[in-house]
Amino acid sequence: MDRRAYSPPQPTGNRTVPDTVTEASAPRLRCINCGNISDRADQDFRCPNCGDLFEIFYPGWQTPHGLMAAGLDVETLKQLWRDRRSSRAPADISGVWRFRELLPALNADPITLGEGNTPLYDLPRSARAAGMQAVQAKHQGMNPTASFKDTGMTAAASFARQEGFRWVACASTGNTSASMAAYAARGGLRSLVLIPEGKISWGKLSQSLDYGAVTCQLRADFDGCVQVLNQLVRRKPVYLLNSVNPYRLEGQKTAAIELLEQLNWHPPDHIVVPGGNLGNSSALGKALLEMKDLGLIPRLPRLSVIQAEGANPFVRSIREHGGQTLTPIEAETMATAIRIGNPASWKKALRVVEATDGTVEQVSEVEIALAKAEIGSDGVGCEPASAVTLAGLKKLVKRGLVKPPETVVLILTGHVLKDPEFTLRFHRGDLFTGTAHEKDARVLEPNQRAPLVLDATVDAVADTLEEFDRKRGDE
């Protein structure tokens, strides 16, 4: 790592702070199934012994408070991360690399767009809708390309460049591709995107075009795109940037570290995450377990994963098979970001749900649409896949698994502008027209605000205002 680029701000007082962790904690790859340990992975990031996924682990942290062995105690670390907020070095401005003591080390500057540093919002209206006293949301849609993927992409794209690859590639439901295309462009890499034709939002598609990716719309669903890509990486020298790449999950885990920092290291009772390919829940859970092991937090929040009813293989795996197996399904949901039937990281996600004593839940299309409007009514907004968190929370409250006075953080994964067509159709009232959900969708009517076309007179506008007040009263 270039020490000039990475030099932290001068520590206050007479504490001395090492810049990077020592060799003792240098990260290694470990297979989540057979435990095979390796320092290198093949291009498909699968264990050569058993074909399962690798995760990154840090041998130097094996004891509680293990960072001390690497010369870093937790209070010094917390102070160091705070101090970096006032630095102008790109790696310090990044809300990912600011926490680099808990990441694999790069030997050059990272490819960064200043990712992370996302806000934590109170959602009072959403809390009321869920029967909670309070709810908070960490909005990962406030990243540079407007989804949580950027926190992983800064890490994995940087390692792709370090490894000398010219091409990076991903299969995507739209956000990974947007993010990969941006980071590849910033890093001078070529990028190849495989997306399901007609099944991703225009906003996301336009992003990967804007950032110059070679964008292929395959006549397949997301899972079909993954299959093609897995074969391609065995044939061509392209670096795989899907979330089976463990470096991506290391970047994504920093969202949980940043969240805990924002909460002054007081863990919330619950964290609620949408589940698609299940990389993000795995990454956030990994961070929670590591923070607990290292003594950064005193206890674990419960991590719960929510899926759409039509894209629920993980929920089914747990409910029907006790998490022993996962049967792939043909997924269907309007929350296209999570339209995934064969999630790659389900075993990792299962492990963190179990380790944190969390749970899983599924929500209907109408419940997703309603929750999205409710989050919007808090002035925050998100894309449909993110709204499964609030819809799921409502069900967890009803099941008694979340109690109204408890503290909850929803992870909002994508920005409201990622899928404006969904929002417009919701408010025009035709989102569910001609679908099996048409009758259920009547519950959405009070939340719909179709745009009004009026004569260009002050009377017409003033009458509209009065009518609105008459209908809504003091609400």
| Residue ranges that bind ligand F0G, judged by CB under 6 A | 147, 172-176, 243, 274-281, 337-338, 383, 385-386, 413-414
Return d(Cα 55, Cα 283) in angstroms, integer: 10
Nearer residue to ligand F0G within complex by CB, 91 or 385: 385
Q: Is-contact 50 33, C-beta < 8 A?
A: yes
- Going by DSSP bridges, is the β-strand pair 37-38/28-31 parallel, antiparallel, or unpaired? antiparallel
Beta bridge partners of 272: 304, 410
Do residues 279 and 179 touch, judged by C-beta distance below 8 A? no
Least distance in angstroms from the C-beta of 389 to ligand F0G? 9
| Residue nearer to ligand F0G on the CB measure, 92 or 223 | 223
Least distance from C-beta 439 to ligand F0G, angstroms? 28
Give min distance, CB of 415 to ligand F0G, in A. Answer: 9
Shorter beta-carbon distance to ligand F0G: residue 110 or 174: 174
Residue 109: CB minimum distance to ligand F0G, A: 26
Minimal distance, residue 339 CB to ligand F0G, in Å:
9
Please state, as a whole number, how many other Cβ atoms lie within 10 Å of the Cβ of residue 287: 26
What's the Cα-to-Cα distance from 423 to each of 121, 259, 391, 414, rounded to whole Å? 21, 28, 16, 14
Which residue, 150 or 383, has its beta carbon nearer to ligand F0G?
383
Q: Which is nearer to ligand F0G, 66 or 285 (CB)?
A: 285
DSSP string, 123-142: -HHHHHHHT-S--EEEEGGG
Phi, psi values for residue 286, rounded to 5°: -60, -45
What's the order of all strands across the beta sheet hosting 136-139? 120-122, 136-139, 408-412, 270-274, 302-308, 360-363
> What is the helix (H) or strand (E) element at residue 426, kind and residue range?
helix 420-428
- Rounded least distance, CB 80 to ligand F0G, Å: 29
Token pair 């209206």 is found at 125
* Cβ closest to ligand F0G, residue 289 vs residue 352: 352
The nearest distance, CB 373 to ligand F0G, in angstroms, is 17
Q: Which amino acid is at 426?
A: F
For 284, the enclosing helix (H) or strand (E) is: helix 279-294
Listing DSSP states for 324-376 in one string gives S---------S-GGG--SS-TTHHHHHHHHHHTT--EEEE-HHHHHHHHHHHH
Bridge-based pairing of strands 120-122 and 136-139 is antiparallel
Closer by beta carbon to ligand F0G, 20 or else 277: 277
To ligand F0G, the closest distance from the beta carbon of 54 in angstroms equals 16
Q: How far is the CB of 217 from ligand F0G (least distance, A)?
A: 14
Question: Which of 2, 421 has the CB closer to ligand F0G?
Answer: 421
195 close to 215: Cβ distance less than 8 angstroms: yes
Query: Which residue, among 89, 86, 131, has the nearest Cα to 112 in the 3D structure?
Result: 89
Residue among 77 and 385 whose Cβ is closer to ligand F0G: 385
Q: Which is nearer to ligand F0G, 6 or 222 (CB)?
A: 222
Among the listed residues 297, 262, 285, the one whose alpha carbon sits nearest the alpha carbon of residue 119 = 262
Least distance (Å) between residue 226 CB and ligand F0G: 9
The H-or-E segment that residue 46 falls in is none
Amino acid at 352: V
Least spacing, CB of residue 121 vs ligand F0G, in Å: 17
Nearer CB in complex with ligand F0G: 110/414: 414
